[in-house]
Amino acid sequence: MQRILLGTTKGLCIFEVGRTTTNLAAIHFKGLPVSMIHYDKLHGRYYVALSMKHWGPKLFTSKDGEHWQEIGAPLFPEGSELSPGKPAVLSLIWSGLYHHRQGKLWVGTEPGGLFESADQGRTFQLNESLWRHPTRQKHWFGGGRNQAGIHTILGHPVDPDFLLVGVSCGGVYVTGDGGKTWEVRNEGLKADYLPDPHGPYGHDPHMIKICQSNPDVIWQQNHCGVFVSRDGGLNWKDVTPDDGYGRYGFPLAIDHQDPDKAWIIPAESDDQRVAKDLKLTVCKTEDGGKTWIKQTGGLPQEHCFDLVFRHALDRSAGLMVFGTTTGNLFISRDDGNSWNAQERFLPSIHSVLII
């Protein structure tokens, strides 16, 4: 039986998915804000991060999704600085990846630290190479958040030394040697908010996905449109729908068996964070972004102020799930052709994960 994990502002919700039914099976960390959820399929281990206003970020793990153990949150080494004279202090755990081929757990934070653990989270080390990258202090900055943060960490299905991270605001960074060195991969992206929109630094990827059957193909929902790369991120092509849907938005889903398929959920703009035209719309392409269709069956098409955050859409073998800032949970069992509102009164949903 599949499970849907929801990270919300007031706890972790776990739904069990049957052939025709979906039921809320458990609530954990009730009343507490969940900032990250990750599932290590190899070991069957869950990771959940909390963002506590008083106590700060916390990190928990579980083998069954029922019993949880707190493990030490990553910490910046003494003397780490955001900029000269300004200490780096952990404020948010934003992303996670257990890299099976490396045997490492990677965690992305705000401010923009990338931490690695070789013992399933018992201890963490800051990746000093990325932290000391010459572009960080000068070209990374906070957009919707106070500081630049790492929201996406992606591995390669074959190459154990390849790792990609998405930095908001900073751009796409890739290592080919397991994190020893990093290079910027923003060629072809644009950042309309910068003096030079096509400059190499300061870009704002909102979500990035690597196709597991063809890892040269990488999709990106950006602050300034939808982009696809067919050479591992070396070059990006703008494939934003002609009608402007997708010009701004956060989440992204892809088909790992068909690199030409992708889904986005557009928003109005960076200063109007509501559904595009106040209509909740899923857009799908089957030809690599040349054309897009709208999948709105079952979704509200008027007076809809819902926003879908970057981690709040997931897809697995035809099952698609997304949650909104107003606590609505939508499920499709036919790849988005039709949608059902599973829940309407949940807390604000920040992340969705199908396992």
Amino acid found at 43: H
**Could you report the per-residue pLDDT of 1-50, keeping only the tens digit for each?**
899 999 999 999 999 999 889 999 999 999 999 999 999 999 999 999 99
Give the pLDDT of residue 227: 99
Give the pLDDT of residue 19: 87
Residue 8's alpha-carbon distances to 11, 29, 30, 266, 324, in angstroms, are 5, 10, 10, 21, 10
In a domain, 183, yes or no: yes
Give the pLDDT of residue 14: 99
If one counts the domains in the chain, the total is 1
In a domain, 23, yes or no: no
Q: For residue 296, what is the DSSP state?
A: -
Within 13 A of 279's CA, how many CA atoms are on the CB side?
A: 11
Give the pLDDT of residue 144: 82
**Could you report the per-residue pLDDT of 168-188, keeping only the tens digit for each?**
999 999 999 999 999 999 999
Return the residue matching tokens 């630094």.
201
Give the pLDDT of residue 300: 98
Is the per-residue pLDDT at 273 higher than 90? yes
Q: How many CB atoms lie within 10 A of CB 29?
A: 18
Is the per-residue pLDDT at 63 higher than 90? yes
In a domain, 187, yes or no: yes
Coil, helix or strand at residue 137: helix
Domain enclosing residue 55, as ranges: 33-354
**What is the rounded average pLDDT of the residues 192-204?**
96
In a domain, 327, yes or no: yes
Is the per-residue pLDDT at 101 higher than 90? no
Q: What percent of the chain has pLDDT over 70?
A: 100
In a domain, 143, yes or no: yes
In a domain, 317, yes or no: yes
Taking the alpha carbons of 323, 295, 224, 220 in that order, is the dihedral positive or negative?
positive
Q: How many CB atoms lie within 10 A of CB 309?
A: 24
With beta carbons less than 8 A apart as the criterion, state whether 34 and 12 touch. yes
Please, what is the average pLDDT of the chain?
97
Give the pLDDT of residue 275: 98
CATH of the domain at 106: 2.130.10.10
Tokens coding 206: 């909102």
Count of residues making up the chain: 355
In a domain, 162, yes or no: yes
Contacts of 101 (CB under 8 A, 6+ apart): 155, 156, 160
Give the pLDDT of residue 143: 84
In a domain, 16, yes or no: no
Q: What CA–CA distance (Å, rounded) separates 45 from 120?
A: 9
**Could you report the per-residue pLDDT of 231-271, keeping only the tens digit for each?**
999 999 999 999 999 999 999 999 999 999 999 999 999 99
Tokens coding 184: 């910027």
**What is the rounded average pLDDT of the residues 205-229?**
99
**What is the rounded average pLDDT of the residues 64-93?**
97
